[in-house]
Chains A and B, each alone.
Chain A
Amino acid sequence: MISTNKLTKKFGDFTAVDNLTLSVKEGEILCLLGANGAGKSTTINMLLGFIKPTSGTAEIHGLDVAKNNLKTKEFITYIPENLMLYPSLTAVENLDYFAGIAGKELSPQMLTDFLKEAGLQEEAFQKRISTFSKGMRQKVGIALALAKDTKVLLLDEPTSGLDPKASNEFGELLQKLKNKGVAILMATHDLFRAKEVATHIGIMKDGKLRQQFVAENISLPELEKAYLDTMNYKEALS
């Protein structure tokens, strides 16, 4: 569903992503861990076609993103760190608009069903987004993924700034989508949440994927140690 092959992005002399090869299949969640500037968001930007890779390829649902950018977006739902919707529209209206321009015509009943499934409380359906917390906006994003019957979910720091309860609810929603066969790639700093939701975990540093684990084969303390070791790798070398 999601794959990259020797994906590289250079900004002048700086290499943001360096020969990245990864794969996320249906029903898998790959959490990419790494410090700021590790190349996680740049990878997501290339998967969305926002940035052209310097070399290598990124594929969504078997299609080269660079060559079939609009087509690949039919399979993708993207939730950035701060999901910004139209503040003067209600949750139902935002969902109707974004699903509509993506080509999904939804009845009023379907709109409320998707919002309900995404865990949004019913009394919030007709409220304007300007009154929503970040967690509530993320739920509208998940409802959009459900409405689009998405195959690929790209998440960029989705739990940063969420309180533990909202973060936990968000993790549960990801599990739901995973069980529906969605391939999920999540860039995050949150080791705990990564361990909770991921099927696979990768640690990136300086644009390279330094380590990769099957989530169930590693404990949280081991993950933390591996993460810190990777982060200190350069210092250790020197």
Chain B
Amino acid sequence: MLRYNFKYELRLLLRSRWIQILSLILLVLFGFSTFNGIEKVAKRKSDISIAKQQVQESDEAMLKLLDSVERGLPVSASSWTIPTSPMAVGNYHPRVAAMEPKPMAFVATGQADLFTHYIKPTVSGDDFALNFTEMTSPVQLLFGSFDLAFVIVYLLPLLIIAFTYNVLSAEKEQGSLRLLASQPISIRKWVFQKLILRFFWLSVLVTLSMLIVFLLVGTETFEWGGIVSLLGLTLSYMLIWFALAFLVNLFVGTSAKNAVSLIMLWVIFVLLTPSVINQLANTLYPMPSRTLMINEMREHKAEATKRQDEILDNFLRDHPEYAINDSTQSRNFYHSYMASQKVVKEALEPIVDTYEQQLHKQQKWAKKLQWFSPAIVVQESLNQLAGTSTADYESYRNQVIGFAETWRNHLMTYLYNNKPFAQQDYPSLPNFQFSYIANATIGLSVLVLLLIAGALLAFGFAVQGRLQKRGLLSN
């Protein structure tokens, strides 16, 4: 039976123009979404590149100024901006802490339209108040991004529904089912084979369309490993929708009822479940107010200002290494400021920790419940593949905070030792290097999606036998 189904299914699909229509739709959807994704990545790269260019120019100016100062030449710059002061270097010549896009970043916008991809942490800035959010149009956020992940997670199931909802019911309604059922074949096996063949042909179309689009649109960052992961996720997600279509074809009945049932499943898995999990995560683990954090920060700063001398004494007692090489023992505004920054930071740590803990709890909750919806699993995995997941941005935030600390500590040694910054110190300035977290869960996601699809298909085979005993073809 499989050989004849294979031989004629493609012929039937070609003659009913399904293959041609699907190819066209897939090419347009994949083409447009990939183009959109690539444009966004290009903008991100360009922003980072401009920022790096600005730092390079600023560094060149700094080195020229240092050269002039070191040679005793007069300089036309405000005293507080002259880079012999470590605070001038730390505040006016910061490094770029950039989150370079991953090769597959064009696949999913993820959190990329909410967070910035480069920051220049300064030596006197507040780490916890570093602003990682971007100016974003609320209208844009409302509609989301038309990226490849959107096409795969939201639109591809709709195409599958249109392609599969009436495999059995159309035979019933056209009258050919009775002739088919009078042959020595099992109808459920026949439906299964038809759907598996349609899955096969759609997989071929999806794979070819994606490859054609990637080659035509020309991703500079073509990465085979990423493409294989992307296809693995897409095909296993498609198989789940084919398995659902298999169950609906066997258990529901008329084409109209099948279509409505599948659309309802789409609404439940793609729209409702993610929203409910998100809402519950926010309700169960609410994030602390950012306004509250800023208010507390101001209060602590005001308090610290009143006790600056005491704070500085305590700080130096705790850090005797800063005084060892300092023969001047000169103390100015920045010595007190930096010492009080540390106090303010320590005082605010519980609030910042609460924010991180709540974020972790939310993520843990969502991760646990993601298996209720294959759409969440695929969206999350595509975000991971693109390096735009919540975890990626959290990792970036932590790495930037870590780098800000390194930057500050490096220059504080100069400050507290009252050692001027010189040209020869420039090469030892710390630089930021972002490293992405590993995509360890993508393979697991593919495996789980395949297991879910297998379980759904097995369920169809196990239960449909009983339905046939009740007389599936009686009308």
Chain A residues near B (Cβ < 8 Å): 45, 48, 50-52, 70-71, 73-74, 76-78, 80, 82-89, 93, 96-98, 100-103, 141, 154
Contacts and interface: CB of A to CB of B under 8 A. Distances in A.
Interface string B182-221: 1111100010000000000000000000000000000000
Contacts of A103: 184
Given A71-B184, A73-B184, A93-B11, A101 B5 contact: yes
B466 interface: no
A102 B3 CA distance: 12
Contacts, number: 78
A45 B469 CA distance: 13
17 contacts: A45-B474, A48-B182, A48-B473, A50-B181, A52-B471, A70-B184, A73-B184, A73-B185, A78-B178, A85-B176, A88-B12, A88-B15, A97-B4, A97-B7, A98-B183, A100-B7, A103-B184
A45 B185 CA distance: 16
Given A51-B471, A100-B4, A101-B5, A86 B176 contact: yes
B473 A80 contact: no
B179 interface: yes
B251 interface: no
Contacts of B184: 70-71, 73-74, 102-103
A89 B14 CA distance: 11
B181 A88 contact: no
A167 B183 CA distance: 25
Given A82-B175, A89-B8, 6 more contacts: A78-B182, A85-B176, A86-B8, A97-B7, A101-B5, A154-B182
Interface in B435-475: 469-471, 473-474
Contacts of B179: 78, 80, 83-85, 98, 141
Contacts of A98: 179-180, 183
B178 A50 contact: yes
Given A82-B175, A84-B174, A102 B12 contact: no
Contacts of A82: 175
Contact of A50 (B3, B175, B183, B474): B474
A64 to B, nearest CB: 15
A154 B182 CA distance: 10
Contacts of B473: 45, 48, 50-51
Interface string B65-98: 0000000000000000000000000000000000
B1 interface: yes
Contacts of A74: 184
Given A88-B16, A89-B12, A100-B4, A76 B182 contact: yes
Given A89-B12, A93-B11, A102 B174 contact: no
Contacts of B4: 96-97, 100-101
B184 to A, nearest CB: 4
Interface residues of B, number: 28
B182 A73 contact: yes
Nearest to B178: A80
Q: Which 8 residue pairs across A and B have the least CB separation, nearest first?
A: A84-B175, A100-B4, A78-B182, A73-B184, A88-B15, A50-B473, A84-B176, A102-B183
B474 A70 contact: no
A204 B11 CA distance: 44
Contacts of A154: 182
Contact of B8 (A50, A51, A71, A97): A97
B14 to A, nearest CB: 9
A89 B474 CA distance: 27
B194 to A, nearest CB: 11
A50 B471 contact: yes
Contacts of B181: 48, 50
Nearest to B470: A52
A61 B176 CA distance: 25
Nearest to B17: A88
Contacts of B1: 100-101
Nearest to B186: A70
Given A74-B184, A102-B185, A86 B12 contact: yes
Given A82-B175, A84-B179, A52 B185 contact: no
A89 B5 CA distance: 13
Nearest to A80: B178
Nearest to A148: B183
A83 B53 CA distance: 76
Nearest to B472: A50
Contacts of A93: 8, 11
Contacts of B471: 50-52
B179 to A, nearest CB: 7
A177 B1 CA distance: 26
B198 to A, nearest CB: 15
Contacts of A97: 4, 7-8
Nearest to A78: B182
Contacts of B182: 48, 73, 76-78, 154
Contacts of B12: 86, 88-89
Contacts of B180: 98, 101
A80 B8 contact: no
Contacts of B15: 88-89
A98 B12 CA distance: 14
A106 B162 CA distance: 34
A20 to B, nearest CB: 17
A85 B171 CA distance: 10
Nearest to A141: B179
A101 B189 CA distance: 12
B176 A70 contact: no
Contacts of A73: 182-185
Contacts of A85: 176, 179
Nearest to B5: A101
User: Which one of A51, A76, A97, A141 has the highest number of Cβ atoms from chain B below 10 Å of its Cβ?
Assistant: A97
Contacts of B175: 80, 82, 84
B101 to A, nearest CB: 47
B196 to A, nearest CB: 15
With a 10 A CB-CB cut-off, give which of B1, B5, B179 has the most chain A CB atoms.
Answer: B179
A102 B471 CA distance: 21
A51 B174 CA distance: 20
A100 B176 contact: no
Nearest to A72: B184
Contacts of B183: 73, 98, 101-102
Nearest to A79: B179
